[in-house]
Every structure is written in structure tokens, then in C-alpha cells.
Amino acid sequence: MSTPPGQRILLEGCAIATVDTDGREYQQGHILIADGRIAAVGAGAATPIDDAGPLRRVDASGCLATPGLVNTHHHLYQWATRGLAQQADLFGWLTELYPIWARIGAEDVAAAVGAGLGWLALSGCTTTTDHHYVFPPGAGDLFAAEVAEAGRVGLRFHPVRGSMDLGASAGGLPPDHLVEDTDAALAATAEAIHRFSDPSPDAMVRVAVGPCSPFSASERLMREAAALARNAGVRLHTHLAETVDEEAYCRATHGCTPAEYAERLGWLGDDVWLAHGVHLDAEAVKRIAETGTGLAHCPSSNARLGAGIAPVRDLLDAGVPVGLGVDGPASQEAGQLVAELRQALLVARLRGGPTALTAREALTLATRGGARCLGREDDLGSIEEGKLADIALWRLDGLGHADIADPVAALVFGAPPPLELLLVGGRPVVEGGRLTTVDERDLLVRARHAAGRLRT
């Protein structure tokens, strides 16, 4: 998926926010890309470029270059069920949507994933997760369908093989016909890792393990899935502490908080990242930090469902790796990762005042923070020599942004800007605000068909 060997790209004249640990920024600089990685980055014009192979020069004046954005939590299949359960909280929303999701098939998943990934790319995302946990009987190879779509669109993909085995008759929330047998779920998870996961530094696909939530996965599934993941050397992901209903469920069912339950089952650690973490007390924040556990912050989805505001400032101050998540498009219909920077900043300030999160901290959540959550910080999340050339180039010289002198503030405080160029391993996926790898009209037609079929 990278630029062919010997072919290089030079971005010239742009502002650059490297998001490295030193916070280096350049008002006008250059980035040289070779063999899918960053060969040079610095202020001013590039030193004379030799003639060792083809060179594409990109006039990036008026633009800001940032690392490609990293989406740490999503449910792409939900693209086909957007706009439903508009006034419901999480449990009510799930209860309304479970019967629709029970009809989903491989063709529907492929269509929804294609549309969702295309839209993520257009919002500056170069790496995304997908937590897929709905596998109706006879639905086909849903996991393979989404991996194939990611290959077509061209984003780095961290699909999470989710699972649910705790149906309503056993005290869970999902209907019995939508949960899997525990042994079957574990076997399918192991197969997904074997078939698709790539541990190499420039991997385009890495599989993670993810029983869905405390109210849809049994203790046995949680424990054995964690052991499976660690034996295979892959990461773990689940929902945790999203709502007050989940808190009440865990206290009533397990006699403890969600975070205490996760720790009891071996679900805190530096190979784990959790989704949401809205309702975490001080002790939970402390234990999450001490164990190196990461957290995917999903501000728009939490607001849409009225779940609350995650304690991001407390988590960051404690040293927790925090990334941003768009979450499923049925609970966050906008689906734009770049928009989550502004949302994260605004909700943090609603909770903690105007100093609770800065524009640069918001950008870090969406880049280096996300890369840390996914275990990719050595190769992704910042613009540094030797790292993979996953770069977003934002146009900031239009009416919406040109008068904001600070380009990072323009990106975060302003409306989502036009995306001039998106590179994944040096390969253009978006140019001039248009997808280059797939036909947008085809994505639209397929997604519309899938949505229509599921709702009839």
C-alpha cells in the first residue's frame, strides 16, 4: 500500500505540526517521503534533492501538515442504521437496534464498512479500529468482508473481533438469538487473528480481541479472550464505564464497579485500551494509569446518547494513553474524526473550565495518543524521520480559517477544513477533497441499498 520503491513525494511550503514529544512545529517547512516513510522534515525549503528516482513535488502553501489521524473506537457496520433511536440512552438505543442488526449479512457489512472508511479518510483518518461484535447465524464471513473493504479504501485497519455470549435469558442485555456460543466465539477470534493479523512495523491490518461489554459478555468469555489475545501477542479492547446503567449493572451483578470488574478479569494492562471511560472515579483513573491501560475518548457519541463527559484531564494528568474515537455512526452520525478534536476540547472545557484541554492536546489525542493506544507509537502518530508516511494536509487559506494566525488553533477551533491530501504509507488516498482509491458514488449506492434492506 506504500509508494513504490524509488518513488518520492516532497511537500513544500506548508506549516507543520509534527506532534512529536518535543512539540516541534514549523510555520513553513517541508516533508520528504521515500519508500513509504518520512525521509526528512524541517523548516524552510528542502536541501537540494538528488535525482535518485522520480520525485513528485507538492506545493503545500496555505496548508497545515499533521500526522494522519488515528481513530481508536468505531462500529462501522452501524453506518447502515444511522438516525434511529434518536432520544434513547445507551441501553434503550441498543434494545431498539439489536433486532435490526440481527438481519445483517456480509454484503451489508461490506457496504457499511466501505462507506464508513471512505468518510473517515475524507476526515483525515489514516488508521482506524473497528469493533465488530454482531455475528448473526448464517450471516456469512463478516470479518473477512470488512478486512477486504479496508484494503480497497486503503486505510490502516485494526479490526477488533468482538463477541457477545451473554443473552437476555442469562442476565445480559442482547437478545438470545444474537449472541454466540462461548467456544464458537473464541474459536472464531483465534481464526481471525491467524488469517488477518500482521505484526510487522508497516502492517496494514492488525487484529485485536474484544468481547463487547460487561453486560453482553460472560466472565468466562472475558477471561479466556484475554488469555487468547496474550498468547497470540495481540491487543485487547472492550467497552467500559460508558453509562450509569452499566455502573448499576456491575454493582448489582458483580458487586463492584466496571473498572474493578475489568481488573478482576485481567482486563487492565499495557496491551489493553478501553472505550469511553465516562464514569471513572479517582481510584479507577489511578489503576488505569498504573497498569498502562489506554482509553478511547468518544465525546460526540457520549453526548448523543447523554452518557456524560469522560474525565480526560484527570486521565492525561495521571499518564493514561488517551486517543480519540468516532464511535459507531448510529450513535455519532457525523462520523468525522477531525471534528472530534473540537468536540474533545469543548466537552473537556465544559467539565473543567477553559484550561482543561488545549488545541495541541486535542491534536495529540487524535494522533500520538491514538497510536499509543494501538501499540503503534514507534511508527505512527507523529511526523518524524523514519516513521511511516501517514500524513494529512489540511487547507487553511480559505474563508473559514485564513484569519486565524495559529494553524493548529485553526484546525481545532474552526470548522473541519478541506483535506488537500491524505497519504497512507506515502500512497495518496485523498487528493483535493476526493477519494482516489474507490468511487464515492459506488460507496453511496451500496450503503443506501444496505440501509434500505435492513429497515424493511
The verdict on 399 and 318 lying in the same domain is: no
The verdict on 31 and 88 lying in the same domain is: no
Instruction: Look at residue 5 in the predicted model and tell me its pLDDT.
Output: 52
The verdict on 228 and 304 lying in the same domain is: yes
The verdict on 82 and 36 lying in the same domain is: no
Side chain identity, residue 230: R
In a domain, residue 2? The reply is no
In a domain, residue 448? The reply is no
Instruction: Look at residue 151 in the predicted model and tell me its pLDDT.
Output: 98
In a domain, residue 409? The reply is yes
DSSP three-state, residue 155:
coil
The verdict on 185 and 283 lying in the same domain is: yes
Residue 452 and residue 107 in contact, taking contact as beta carbons nearer than 8 Å: no
Which of 320, 347, 373 terminates a domain? The answer is 373
The contacts of residue 195 (CB under 8 Å, 6+ apart) are 144
The verdict on 270 and 363 lying in the same domain is: yes
The verdict on 353 and 428 lying in the same domain is: no
Q: How many domains does the chain have?
A: 2
Instruction: Look at residue 4 in the predicted model and tell me its pLDDT.
Output: 52
Q: What is the domain extent for residue 407?
A: 8-68+382-434
The verdict on 256 and 131 lying in the same domain is: yes
What number of CA atoms fall less than 13 Å from residue 27's CA on the CB side?
2
Query: Splitting the chain (456 residues) into consecutive groups of 10 residues, what average pLDDT does each group show?
Result: 66 98 98 96 87 87 99 98 97 97 98 98 98 97 98 98 98 97 98 98 98 98 98 98 97 97 98 98 98 98 98 98 98 97 98 98 98 98 98 98 97 98 98 98 97 93
In a domain, residue 428? The reply is yes
In a domain, residue 451? The reply is no
Instruction: Look at residue 53 in the predicted model and tell me its pLDDT.
Output: 74
In a domain, residue 442? The reply is no
The verdict on 153 and 222 lying in the same domain is: yes
The verdict on 206 and 99 lying in the same domain is: yes
Residue 417 and residue 394 in contact, taking contact as beta carbons nearer than 8 Å: yes
Is pTM beyond 0.75 here?
Answer: yes
The verdict on 237 and 293 lying in the same domain is: yes
CATH assignment of the domain containing 125: 3.20.20.140
CATH assignment of the domain containing 419: 2.30.40.10
Instruction: Look at residue 64 in the predicted model and tell me its pLDDT.
Output: 98
In a domain, residue 446? The reply is no
How many whole angstroms separate alpha carbon 368 and alpha carbon 324?
10
In a domain, residue 443? The reply is no
The verdict on 37 and 101 lying in the same domain is: no
Provide DSSP, 251-280.
Answer: HHHHSS-HHHHHHHTT--STTEEEEE--S-
DSSP three-state, residue 129:
strand
